[in-house]
């Protein structure tokens, strides 16, 4: 390990090593939506996880906030491994790690006011005195741009638009003063004119409060906008990862290149290389490259040997036998 | 087939409202739009802006609680609302057809692909034999590039992208002149979405029908369509050739806001800016220009007077910033 990398990891807020999540699918077989995934997050850093549906993004997010327990691997957060903590320790960990979901409609309770949504976590996790609860709620609502706060406090979720509800979800995550937030496709159900506001809000929180984000998306353009780094997943494995600017300028993995060509508005006209549109095979015991069935550059070696993730340029890693 | 100036769809002064116990919801207001033979026109707008309502109105598929309060829809010159029920049944699908927003559920889960295509054909063309309809089903699968063995497949045995191809095959089964596609790729992954769009473009070039392509994805529509209609609160506030959809051009403030709100993948600089506020309540529209509470350029007149349509070069706009005399002096 290079010296630079060693110091980086020493100061990392989150350091995930060889994370594996497996689920039983009957007849003694298992799928592995997360297969030896490693990454780290610095305070205030945004890592964008990109990949198509079923590639394992949400599962990584859920394991990181410990909504599920990983099957193998380590999750170091602020110096301790939280991969298998339980009970009180796990409850305490909720203060560090929060998650915001895709569906701003489903994640709030229709019978509670916005004030009640926020009072609960504030009371539970902030020990700075009851008197401050009300002030803290005002502060949170102002921070996420839900003004005038006195009006917002009294409202019920159905009285808010999708974008406003997503802001409430973010305010609720912020209520416990977390070190990082997993944001799982937080804008994909919102209208275009509203999306930019949520992305900018995340940017402010990262800059002003040093909150780190694992930003999960299937959209490369928003990943590039908000992410310091981008990590491209396919079939539960990291295909390519690099600082955003580098990845956008020099994508080397065939899957990343396919994502590029498919993104609307990338003057990359002309038809895509023929691909089968088949979802990735997540079954355990799969051999070779997970992308082989759809890869225009597939060769014999791809079907027999899984390509390792190797550094192709400083800080730029790709898992491919024939990177472009 | 090359695009000609021959109109396939003519929408004139169309207004549609939903009748609810709390009053009228003005889902579509004063819309004018023409789609020519072989042309792809995009219709973009945010959720609730009235896109699907417009699509259903054209197909004359509005449900009981919706009323066309004003205007006319003509397809191939025929006033769609002047047809008898029987005539409409023959007209729909053979002259105009639609790919629905919830296409995944548009297929019957207990029927094979072949039966669904054949039944659709026979429902609208009872004069055809079952055998002829079967032959057509095979041709259609070839056209959307699905292996003929899937004629015997059930929808759940197909991937999302393949199901969508089947839905498109059904929409074009009777060679309609106009196909309305309501968010045909929204539920799909970006790579699958792109391959479906390539497919649509290819088939459209080959067969030559016109498409009204409804979407909330601005960049996608700009890429596919030759002209784009931008809808806000039930009105088409701008109608523009796609190649002019860029920030260096003058646009309606709402269009400009949308252009600034989208992060570009390959631009050198990535800054984005949202549009403040939220879309209005269609039961209680703001007076004057409906966009004025969110518009950074709003003037006094905008709060009082609704802007009328202005032709500005190749664009049609509804905004007080574009004054007829001034605009035409520039042209
Ligand atoms: N049956 C109905 N009764 C009352 N209002 C309705 C009904 N159907 C739609 N509306 C309203 O009409 C307006 C336009 O709806 P429409 O479905 O046409 O929008 P859209 O642009 O297709 O939106 P989306 O992008 O979400 O599909 C919305 O305000 C909607 O709430
Ligand atoms: N609790 C679970 N039990 C079994 N399979 C699951 C579970 N959660 C997720 N999966 C499977 O894991 C795969 C990856 O899912 P997910 O992480 O949600 O992908 P993404 O977020 O990238 O769309 C999918 O095949 C999904 O069906
Ligand atoms: S390893 Fe082979 S199949 Fe996999 S992405 Fe690279 S070239 Fe394609
Ligand atoms: S009419 Fe006025 S408020 Fe409406 S878009 Fe134009 S400038 Fe803005
Ligand atoms: Mg997911
Ligand atoms: Mg709709």
The predicted-structure confidence for A126-185, as pLDDT tens digits, reads as follows: 766 556 888 999 999 998 988 788 889 999 998 887 888 989 999 999 999 999 999 999
ipTM for the complex? 0.81
Copy the structure tokens of residue B258: 């949308």
Least confident of A31-40, A64-73, B253-262: B253-262
The answer for residues whose C-beta is within 8 angstroms of residue A180's C-beta and 6 or more apart is A13, A14, A41, A96, A97, A98, A211, A212, A213, A214
Residues with CB under 5 A from ligand 6 (ion): B 52, 101
Least confident of A2-16, A143-157, B36-50, B72-86: A2-16
**Residue B32: pLDDT band by 50, 70, 90 thresholds?**
very high
The predicted-structure confidence for B168-185, as pLDDT tens digits, reads as follows: 999 999 999 999 999 888
Q: Is the pLDDT of residue A61 over 50?
A: yes
Q: Is the pLDDT of residue A111 over 60?
A: yes
Instruction: Please check whether residue B193 touches A, CB under 8 A.
Output: yes
Torsion of CA A111, A87, A56, A238, to 10 degrees: 140
**What are phi and psi for residue A216, nearest 5 degrees?**
-100, 130
Pocket test for ligand 2, best of A19, A26, A33 (most atoms within 8 A of CB): A33
Ligand 1: does its nearest atom lie under 6 Å from the Cβ of B20? yes
Q: What is the pLDDT of residue B324?
A: 55
Closest atom of ligand 3 to A302 CA is 2
- Ligand 4 centroid–CA B275 distance in Å is 13
Contacting residues of B for A260, CB less than 8 Å apart:
265
CATH of residue B26's domain is: 3.40.50.300
**Residue A271: pLDDT band by 50, 70, 90 thresholds?**
low
In a domain, B252, yes or no: no
Q: How far is B6 from chain A (nearest CA, A)?
A: 28
In a domain, B67, yes or no: yes
Tally of domains in chain B: 1
In a domain, B152, yes or no: no
Q: What is the pLDDT of residue B186?
A: 77
| Domains of chain A listed by start with CATH number | 3-96+178-318 (3.40.50.300), 111-177 (no CATH)
* A100-107 average pLDDT score: 82
* B221-250 average pLDDT score: 95
Q: Is the pLDDT of residue B274 over 70?
A: yes
Q: Could you tell me whether strands B315-318 and B309-312 are parallel, antiparallel, or unpaired per DSSP bridges?
A: antiparallel
In a domain, B159, yes or no: no
Whole-number average pLDDT of chain B: 90
Q: Is the pLDDT of residue A235 over 70?
A: yes
CB A315 within 8 A of CB A243: yes
Q: Which of B147, B189, B273, B291 to mutate to test the interface with A (most CBs of A within 10 A)?
A: B189
Q: What is the pLDDT of residue B188?
A: 79
- Ligand 4 centroid–CA B288 distance in Å is 9
Q: Is the pLDDT of residue B38 over 90?
A: yes
The predicted-structure confidence for B308-320, as pLDDT tens digits, reads as follows: 999 999 999 999 9
Question: Does A271 sit within 8 Å of B274, measured CB to CB?
Answer: no
Ligand 1: does its nearest atom lie under 6 Å from the Cβ of B51? yes
Q: What is the pLDDT of residue A148?
A: 83
Q: What is the pLDDT of residue A3?
A: 46
The answer for residues whose C-beta is within 8 angstroms of residue B214's C-beta and 6 or more apart is B42, B43, B44, B51, B52, B54, B55, B101, B180, B181, B182, B183
Longest dimension (CA), chain A: 68
In a domain, B297, yes or no: no
Q: What is the pLDDT of residue A5?
A: 46
In a domain, B213, yes or no: yes
Question: Which residue of chain B has the CA closest to A255?
Answer: B191
In a domain, B204, yes or no: yes
Q: How far is A237 from chain B (nearest CA, A)?
A: 18
The predicted-structure confidence for B181-205, as pLDDT tens digits, reads as follows: 998 887 778 888 888 888 899 899 9
- Ligand 6 centroid–CA B126 distance in Å is 31
- Ligand 6 centroid–CA B104 distance in Å is 14
Ligand 2: does its nearest atom lie under 6 Å from the Cβ of A34? no
Ligand 1: does its nearest atom lie under 6 Å from the Cβ of B166? no
- Residue list, ligand 4 pocket, CB within 6 Å: B 252-253, 289, 291-292, 295, 297-299, 302, 307, 319-321
Q: Is the pTM of this model over 0.90?
A: no
Whole-number average pLDDT of chain A: 89
Contacting residues of A for B193, CB less than 8 Å apart:
262
Q: B61: domain range?
A: 7-95+176-247
Question: Does B261 sit within 8 Å of A196, measured CB to CB?
Answer: yes
**Residue of B288, B273, B208, B264 whose CA lies nearest to B37:** B208
b/e A284-308 (16+ beta carbons within 10 angstroms → b):
eebebbbbbbbbebbeeebeeebbe
Least confident of B208-217, B223-232, B268-277: B268-277
Q: What is the pLDDT of residue B330?
A: 44
Pocket test for ligand 2, best of A22, A23, A30, A282 (most atoms within 8 A of CB): A23
When computed from its CA atoms, the radius of gyration of chain A, rounded to whole angstroms, is: 21
Instruction: Please check whether residue B267 touches A, CB under 8 A.
Output: no
- Ligand 3 centroid–CA A303 distance in Å is 9
**Residue A269: pLDDT band by 50, 70, 90 thresholds?**
low
Q: Is the pLDDT of residue B94 over 80?
A: yes
- Ligand 5 centroid–CA B102 distance in Å is 20
Pocket test for ligand 4, best of B257, B280, B307 (most atoms within 8 A of CB): B307
Question: Does A197 sit within 8 Å of B274, measured CB to CB?
Answer: yes
In a domain, B243, yes or no: yes
């Amino acid at each position: 390990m290079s010296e630079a990398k060693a110091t980086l990891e020493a100061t990392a807020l989150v350091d995930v090593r060889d994370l594996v999540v497996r689920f039983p699918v009957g007849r003694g077989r298992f799928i592995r939506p997360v297969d030896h995934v490693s990454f780290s997050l610095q305070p205030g850093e945004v890592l964008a996880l990109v990949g198509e549906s079923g590639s394992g993004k949400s599962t990584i997010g859920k394991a990181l906030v410990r909504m599920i327990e990983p099957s193998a691997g380590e999750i170091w957060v602020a110096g301790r491994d939280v991969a298998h903590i339980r009970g009180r320790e796990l409850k305490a960990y909720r203060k560090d790690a929060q998650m915001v979901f895709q569906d701003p409609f489903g994640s709030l309770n229709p019978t509670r006011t916005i004030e009640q949504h926020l009072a609960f976590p504030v009371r539970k996790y902030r020990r700075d005195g009851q008197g401050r609860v009300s002030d803290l709620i005002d502060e949170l609502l102002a921070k996420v741009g839900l003004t005038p706060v006195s009006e917002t406090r009294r409202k019920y979720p159905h009285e808010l638009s999708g974008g406003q509800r997503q802001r409430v979800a973010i305010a609720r995550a912020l209520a416990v003063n977390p070190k990082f937030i997993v944001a799982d496709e937080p804008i994909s159900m919102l209208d275009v004119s509203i999306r930019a506001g949520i992305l900018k809000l995340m940017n402010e929180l990262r800059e002003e409060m040093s909150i780190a984000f694992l930003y999960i998306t299937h959209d490369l353009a928003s990943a590039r906008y908000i992410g310091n780094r981008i990590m491209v997943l396919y079939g539960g494995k990291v295909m390519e990862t690099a600082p955003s600017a580098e990845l956008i300028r020099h994508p080397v993995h065939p899957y990343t290149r396919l994502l590029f060509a498919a993104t609307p508005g990338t003057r990359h006209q002309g038809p895509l290389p023929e691909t089968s549109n088949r979802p990735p095979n997540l079954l355990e015991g799969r051999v070779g490259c997970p992308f082989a069935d759809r890869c225009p550059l597939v060769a014999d070696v791809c079907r027999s040997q899984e390509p390792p993730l190797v550094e192709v340029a400083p800080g730029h890693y790709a898992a491919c036998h024939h990177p472009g | 087939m090359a695009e000609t100036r021959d109109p396939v769809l003519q929408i004139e002064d169309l207004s549609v409202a939903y009748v609810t116990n709390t009053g009228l919801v003005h889902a579509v207001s004063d819309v004018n739009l023409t789609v020519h033979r072989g042309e792809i026109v995009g219709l973009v707008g945010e959720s609730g802006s009235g896109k699907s309502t417009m699509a259903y109105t054209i197909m004359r598929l509005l449900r009981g609680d919706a009323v066309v309060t004003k205007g006319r829809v003509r397809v191939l010159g025929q006033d769609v609302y002047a047809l008898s029920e029987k005539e409409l049944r023959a007209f729909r699908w053979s002259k105009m057809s639609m790919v629905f927003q919830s296409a995944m559920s548009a297929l019957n889960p207990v029927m094979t692909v072949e039966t669904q295509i054949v039944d659709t054909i026979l429902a609208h063309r009872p004069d055809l034999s079952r055998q002829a309809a079967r032959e057509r089903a095979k041709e259609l699968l070839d056209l959307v590039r699905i292996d003929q063995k899937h004629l015997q497949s059930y929808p759940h045995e197909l991937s999302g992208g393949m199901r969508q191809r089947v839905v498109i095959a059904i929409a074009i089964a009777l060679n309609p002149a106009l196909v309305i596609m309501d968010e045909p790729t929204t539920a799909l992954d970006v790579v699958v979405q792109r391959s479906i769009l390539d497919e649509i473009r290819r088939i459209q070039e080959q067969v030559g029908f016109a498409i009204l392509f409804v979407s909330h994805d601005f960049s996608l529509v700009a890429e596919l369509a030759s002209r784009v209609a931008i809808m806000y609160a039930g009105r088409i506030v701008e109608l523009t050739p796609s190649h002019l959809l860029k920030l260096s051009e003058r646009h309606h403030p709402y269009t400009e806001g949308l252009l600034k709100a989208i992060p570009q993948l390959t631009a050198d600089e990535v800054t984005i800016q949202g549009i403040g506020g939220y879309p209005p309540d269609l039961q209680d529209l703001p007076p004057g220009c409906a966009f004025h509470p969110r518009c950074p350029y709003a003037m006094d007149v905008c709060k009082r007077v609704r802007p009328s349509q202005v032709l500005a070069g190749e664009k049609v706009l509804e905004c007080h910033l574009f004054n007829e005399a001034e605009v035409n002096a520039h042209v």
